[in-house]
Amino acid sequence: MREITVNKNDAGQRLDRFAEKAVPLLPSSLCQKYIRLKRIKVNSRPVQRNYRLCEGDVISLYINDEFFRPPREDNAYLAVTRPELNIVYEDENILLADKRPGVLCHAAEGADVFHTLIANIQAYLYLKGEWDPKAENSFAPALCNRIDRNTGGIVIAAKTASALRILNEKIRLREIDKYYLCAVIGAPSPPSGELSGYIFKDASKNRVYVRKEREAGSRTAVTRYRTLSVSGSLSLLECRLLTGRTHQIRAQLAAAGHPLLGDGKYGGISSRGSAEKYQALYSYRVVFDFPTHAGELEYLRGKSFTVEKVDFVEKYFPGYDFH
């Protein structure tokens, strides 16, 4: 049980609103429930949720200790009562989530920890009883790959420690293939091919630069592409990463003269002036290639998973079926 004494600046607030701010990990729905169940009292008496606090009131909160900890990414799942997830595939070991553009995989500095993909995945597994943090010494469901905030697509999450170890190793060995769809300005020539060169990352600007020749700090970057459809001044490409560098597809296509639609960082005037809020880039398909043994995940060998829809494909290439 915790007690909070209301000071002058907090007086006049409704009890439920104050409790939600004072205990940010406590979901609003659970706060309302605890007031009804008399687990939140004022001056040792049950009150209504709309009770207006007075200076000197003592609020007693009969709430589990974990809700009083400072909000962090590792406990943000507690505040998520209705997880927002688009699940592409799920079994007892893994979950594939279709991350929407604009959603962070993990919390960035100063960002809201409650609306990240990992918080929603952990909340989903916690609420359905598949993950019990109190029964674990150190493991928590984790993401095996990440996608930029403004890019959408499939993110792989591991439900168990053994699955996490296997998937991390398969990703390191490049035994999991990821295919992207993107809408670019113009029509690449040839319509299919390979972009290769070197990428230099400027961490201070969170930007990369494509170089034809190797220079200090640069890394090899190779992207294979093929044109799937052409509509007016736009082309729909499928890209496969042979290396995994920061902003690789965006930077290499821009350097080739075909920036992504909506890409304000690498796209130039033609892309920045588009009506798109995010760059037209989507990790739409994942293939578990697994040329080597995969232990308890061996059943995934050769399996492919694809998202149900990609908004910019439907908008600019209507009728195209990418499945």
What's the pLDDT tens digit per position in 105-137? 998 765 678 889 999 999 999 999 999 998 887
Check whether residue 196 and residue 310 sit in a common domain.
Answer: yes
Would you state the pLDDT for residue 215? 86
Find out whether the peptide bond into 318 is cis, omega within 30 degrees of 0.
no
What does pTM read for this prediction? 0.85
**Same-domain status, 251 and 310:** yes
Give residue 217's pLDDT band: very low, low, confident or very high (50, 70, 90). confident
Give the pLDDT confidence score for residue 111 in this predicted structure: 64
Q: Answer yes or no: is 299 within a domain.
A: no
Q: Residue for token digits 């701010």?
A: 21
Residue 293 lies in a domain: no
Lowest pLDDT segment from 64-78, 79-93, 107-121, 306-320? 107-121
| 199 assigned to some structural domain | yes
- The bridge status of strand 234-241 relative to strand 152-158 is unpaired
The predicted-structure confidence for 3-39, as pLDDT tens digits, reads as follows: 999 999 999 999 999 999 999 899 899 999 999 999 9
Residue 156 has pLDDT above 70, yes or no: yes
Round to whole Å and give the CA distance between 202 and 208: 6
How far from each other are the two terminal CA atoms of the chain, in whole angstroms?
Answer: 55
CATH of the domain at 109: 3.30.2350.10
**Same domain for 153 and 202:** no
The residue-averaged pLDDT of 279-287 equals 97
Residue 323 belongs to some domain of the structure: no
If asked whether residues 40 and 100 sit together in one domain, one would say no
Q: Which helix (H) or strand (E) holds 119?
A: helix 117-127
Do 62 and 151 share a structural domain? no
Question: Residue for token digits 């499945």?
Answer: 323
Query: Token pair of 316, please?
Result: 């600019």
Domain that holds residue 154: 76-172
Domain-terminating residue out of 45, 68, 91: 68
Same domain, 309 and 204: yes
Residues 117 and 213 in one domain: no
What CATH number has the domain bearing residue 43?
3.10.290.10
Q: Provide the percentage of residues in the chain whose pLDDT is more than 90.
A: 79
- pLDDT confidence band for 244 (50 / 70 / 90): confident
Structurally, the chain folds into a number of domains equal to 3
Angle between helices 28-36 and 15-22 (to 10 degrees): 130
Q: What is the mean pLDDT of the chain?
A: 92
Residue 147 clears pLDDT 60, i.e. is over it: yes
Q: Which two tokens stand for residue 188?
A: 């690449």
| Domain shared by 182 and 167, yes or no | no
Q: Are residues 31 and 154 in the same domain?
A: no
The residue among 321 and 293 whose pLDDT is bigger is: 293
Q: How confident is the model at residue 314 (pLDDT cuts 50, 70, 90)?
A: very high
Q: Answer yes or no: do 82 and 154 share one domain.
A: yes
Q: What is the pLDDT of residue 271?
A: 54
Q: Is the peptide bond before 24 cis (omega within 30 degrees of 0)?
A: no
Residue 209 β-bridge partners? 200
Q: Which of the listed residues 41, 68, 95 is the one where a domain comes to its end?
A: 68
